[in-house]
Each structure stands twice: as C-alpha cells, then as structure tokens.
Amino acid sequence: MREPIIVFDHVRKSYPLYHHITGGTKNLLFHLPSTLSAIRNSRYEALKDVSFEVKRGEALGIIGKNGAGKSTILGLIAGVLKPTEGRVVVKGRASALLELGAGFHPELTGRENIILNGIILGLAKAEVLKKLDEIIEFSGIEEFIDQPIRVYSSGMLARLGFSVVSHLDPDILLIDEILAVGDREFRKKCIKKMMKFKKRGVTIIFVSHSMPDVKRICDRVAWLDNHIIKMMGNTGDVVSGYSK
Amino acid sequence: MNTQIKHYIDLITVLTQKEMKVRYKSTFFGYVWSVAHPLAFAFVFFMAVKVVMRIQMEGYAVFLIAGLFPWQWFSNSVNASPMVFFLNASLIKKVSLPRNVLPLATVLQDMIHFLLAIPVIVLFLFIYHKSPSFSWLYGIPLLLIIQLLMTYGLSLIISSLNLFIRDLERLTGIGTSLLFYFTPIIYPETMIPERYKTLVLYANPLSPLMVSWRNLFLNGTLEFSLVAASFVYSLFALMLGYAVYTRLSWKFAEVL
C-alpha cells in the first residue's frame, strides 16, 4: 500500500468576483451598501466539495470542459492558491510545466533563459549550471541557443521549456495542456520523458483535452464537470464515459 | 532551511541579472543611458532654476546631481512597482516561488545603476574643485541600506495593492512627481521658509534621506538627526510593506 502524496479533503474553492469593485466610483457611491454586499456575496465557485487522493508514483489525468476547474486543482497542488474550505495536503515538491514561454524573457538568449527558468522552478544555481549542457542537448536547439529567444519559433520555445522542466527533480509534476504545441516528434519525446519520470516514481498530474495522450500516460483519471468530480477511476472507463 | 535561504539568494541574483541584461539589450549606448537620463533632468533644472530664475548659489550643477541621482533610483523603482506582479502573472499563477523577490529584483537593479552613476558625481565634484571624502566608505553603504529598505518597502505596498486597486498605478506617478518638488533636491533646505522647514524636512520621508545623500556627496558629512529620521522611516516602510504583502500575497494568483 503506497502512501498518498496528494490529498484533497472536501475542498471548496471560490473566487470573489473582483471586477465588481472597479464598477466605477459613481455607481459605488450611490449604491454603497448594496454594492458592498454584492461584492461580498458575488463569488465564483471554481470547485465544490472535491475529494480525492493521489498515491506516490501514480499518474492522474484530469479531464473536463473548459472552466470546469482543472487549472484550479493544479494551482492548489502547486501551492499558489489556497482552498476556501477543506484541506489540501501535498507532501513533496511540485513543479509545474509552464505554458509556452512563461517565465522566459524574449530578450535573453536560450542559454540565459534556461538558467533563469531553472532557478525560478526551484533548482539551485550550481545544479542548473551542472546540467546546462545536458539541457541544451535535450532541447535540440543547436546554433540558436545563444540567440535571444524572441527569434525562436513556438515549437522551439516549447522544446526549451520542456527541456528545463524535464531536468528538474520534482516529486510531483504538473502538466497543463503543454503537449498541444510542438511537432509530432517533440510530442513523442515529451511522452517518452514523462514515462521516464513515472518509472522513477514521480507523481504526475496531467491535464489534457487529448484523450489518446491521457490514455497513454495516466493510471487513473478524474473527470471534472461543473466544478465537481463527476467520475473518477480507471483511465479506460472514465475516458469512454467522457467521450460519450 | 539553509538550502531555502540559498535558493532565495540564487533567485534574487538571477532575477536582478535578468533585469540588468534586459534593460539595455539591443541598445547601442547601453549603460550610458542610465547616466544620460538623470543628467538630462539635471540640465533642465539647471536651465530653469540657475539660468532663468538665477538661484543664488555656488556650484549648483553638482548640487543638483548629488540629489538627483539617488532620487532617480527611488522614483524609477517606485514607478515600476505597480506593474511588477502583472508582468510576471504567468509565474505567479503557476509556480510557488516567494513573490517578494520580484519587486526586490527591480529595486536592486535600480540600485546598481545608481552605484554605476556615482563616478559621474565624482567627475562633477572635480570640475567644481571638490573631491570625494573618506566618510563615503561608511556613508554610502549606510545610506544605501536605508534607501534600499525604504524603496523596497514602498514597492511591496504598491505592487501588492495595485493588483486589487488598479487606480494605484495612476496615483503612483502623480505621487512621485509631487514628492519630488516637496523634497529639497532642486533647492537647498536652507531656502525653505522657516515655518515649513520642519514639515518639509521631517514629515516627508524622502527629505532626510535625499539631504543626507547630498551632504555626503558634497561635503562628506552625515547629520545624525537626518540619518536617524530616514532610518526610522525606512524601517516603517519595510514593516508596512511586509505586512501588506503577507496579508495579500496568497490572493495574488486569484486576481491575476
């Protein structure tokens, strides 16, 4: 029996709708009490009472329509969001695979961006420098590595980003829709790398709309619908339920 | 714990380096711009105050520069602060890194540019037959720390609050330009009318600091009451900034 590495215990997450505050001064002044109570009460429910556990080394897929709360779950695991109610327990270091080019600076070279991104994602500077050559080689960006990344194609950016993350040493890897970009060869490489992570015992949380990818990577899948878990279980069962 | 502090230092270093590299990337003159900007300002005030309004004062040019350079550091950092978290939205939403390093890197970067501009002050001192004094050796680090704490504290307040109240970024610009004229930079504190003197010198948190910088650069002197006042203000700014930041930072990812 493996221990759970991520526990969601009756988690509810709601966001206040902040745009009400910027509704204009006149409006605010004329209807002060009602506006204030509207601000207090108008909340957006991103997750309602979600509970699940992920065991160490497991690969969990999260599927569902846009706006169902998938990214909120990732945010809660990464520790950038706090639950409104309930408890989120994460044992270990969670690393997020960033969306294309996030945290990169367009004016810096590929090499400089690798160092920057590696440290931002939690590596020590010495570690990054030690792995630098390996990362560059994995990215397959050869003569462009000392060019500012604003001249890179989007595929090259994705490769650069993924090669940094794949050289991290996380306990939990969070992947949000990253495979949507990049050519087929790169996708294959990514999936292979993820399998390697999995073999090493890294827990993977994989958010995707691509059912073939989910089937290939995940042991279990949670189907989010309308801010609750509609179905959770075996990859095959949930995916076929979702595709119906 | 130890590795955490080490990583924090790595983060600050690499982010500050990034800001430094990015600032003048693809420009021909590079570093010259961080001196050219305050110098151009100094030229404008020199024309207006010395040539046109004919202030009665020896060595007005070096007087101006000794106050303008540290002020530029302060105002550049503070004016940049409202956007700091917005510019790093993707990081804040995905990575759990200590977000307070982001404004710190901006402040440090402006501080380094200020340090790099000190030779220009020295040059002007020589032109006016003055010279640097030994008291700079302890005076500069002391005032540097005070200004770093004050600017960082204020940046933390503004950058955090501006995520929730966007009006702040307009107010910041107005605020720093108002503050500039209420700080004895283009005029000496001795010219302030007696009844406003204490008010301008001690109620404005920037006055004691800027006057201290100028006294240090021009005469090599530090006045205890001014340094003490600016130190108290800087501690207050830092504590307030930290309090605001810790109260709000867990909500950052929600509002971005």
What are the pLDDT digits (tens) for A161-185?
Answer: 888 888 888 889 888 876 666 677 7
pLDDT tens readout for residues B133-159: 999 999 999 999 999 999 999 999 999
- Residue B60 has a pLDDT of 94
Give residue limits of the domains in chain A.
Answer: 56-243
**First-residue to last-residue Cα distance in chain B:** 30
Q: Looking at beta carbons, which residues of chain A come within 8 Å of B27?
A: none
CA distance A191 to chain B (A): 21
Tell me the pLDDT band of B196, cut-offs 50, 70 and 90. very high
Comparing CB atoms, the residue among B11, B26, B166 nearest residue A120 is: B11
Tell me the pLDDT band of A106, cut-offs 50, 70 and 90. confident
Q: Looking at beta carbons, which residues of chain B come within 8 Å of A24?
A: none
Residue B176, amino acid? T
Of A33, A148, A6, nearest in space to B18 by CA? A148
- Residue A100 has a pLDDT of 59
- Residue A192 has a pLDDT of 86
Q: What is the DSSP letter of B63?
A: H
Of the listed ranges A20-29, A187-196, B10-19, B102-111, the one predicted with least confidence: A20-29
Question: What are the helix (H) ranges across chain B?
Answer: 2-23, 32-45, 60-80, 84-87, 89-94, 101-127, 136-161, 168-181, 194-198, 206-219, 224-248, 252-255
Q: What are phi and psi of B253, to 5 degrees?
A: -65, -20
Per-residue CA distances from A31 to A16, A27, A40 (Å): 19, 6, 14
Interface test with B, best of A120, A164, A165, A176 (most B CBs within 10 A): A120
Cβ separation A81–B254 shorter than 8 A: yes
Is the Cβ–Cβ distance between A52 and B70 less than 8 Å? Answer: no
- The CA-CA-CA angle for residues B103, B106, B111, to 5°, reads 125
The CATH T-level fold of domain A56-243 is Rossmann fold (3.40.50)
- A19 reaches B (C-beta below 8 A): no
- Residue A1 has a pLDDT of 53
Percentage of residues in chain B having pLDDT higher than 90: 80
Cβ separation A105–B90 shorter than 8 A: no
- Residue A18 has a pLDDT of 60
Tell me which chain B residue has its CA closest to the CA of residue A22. B165
Round to whole Å and give the CA distance between B12 and A6. 30
Cβ separation A80–B92 shorter than 8 A: yes
Q: What is the DSSP string of B170-212?
A: HHHHHHHHHHHHTSTTSS-GGGS-HHHHHIIIIISTHHHHHHH
Q: What is the DSSP string of A24-69?
A: -HHHHHHTHHHHHHHHHH-EEEEEEEEEEEEETT-EEEEEESTTSS
Q: Is A79 helix (H, G, I), strand (E, B) or coil?
A: coil
- A168 reaches B (C-beta below 8 A): no
Tell me which chain B residue has its CA closest to the CA of residue A108. B22
Supply the ipTM of this predicted assembly: 0.84
| Residues β-bridged to residue B162 | none
Cβ separation B95–A108 shorter than 8 A: no
Average pLDDT value for chain B: 93
Cβ separation B96–A94 shorter than 8 A: yes
Cβ separation A99–B94 shorter than 8 A: yes
Cβ separation A78–B21 shorter than 8 A: no
pTM, full prediction:
0.90
H or E, element range at A11: strand A4-16
Tell me which chain A residue has its CA closest to the CA of residue B91. A103
Count of CB contacts below 8 A, A vs B?
81
Interface test with A, best of B2, B10, B27 (most A CBs within 10 A): B10
- Residue A180 has a pLDDT of 63
What is the arithmetic mean of pLDDT over A37-43? 71
In terms of phi and psi (left: phi > 0; alpha: psi -120 to 50; beta: otherwise), the region of A140 is: left
Is the Cβ–Cβ distance between A61 and A217 less than 8 Å? Answer: yes
What is the arithmetic mean of pLDDT over B200-212? 95
Comparing CB atoms, the residue among A21, A94, A124 nearest residue B6 is: A124
Q: Looking at beta carbons, which residues of chain B come within 8 Å of A115?
A: 14
- A124 reaches B (C-beta below 8 A): yes
- Tell me whether residue A91 is exposed, middle or buried, using C-beta atoms within 10 angstroms of its C-beta: 0 to 12, 13 to 18, 19 or more: middle
Whether pLDDT at A35 is above 80:
no
Cβ separation A107–B26 shorter than 8 A: yes
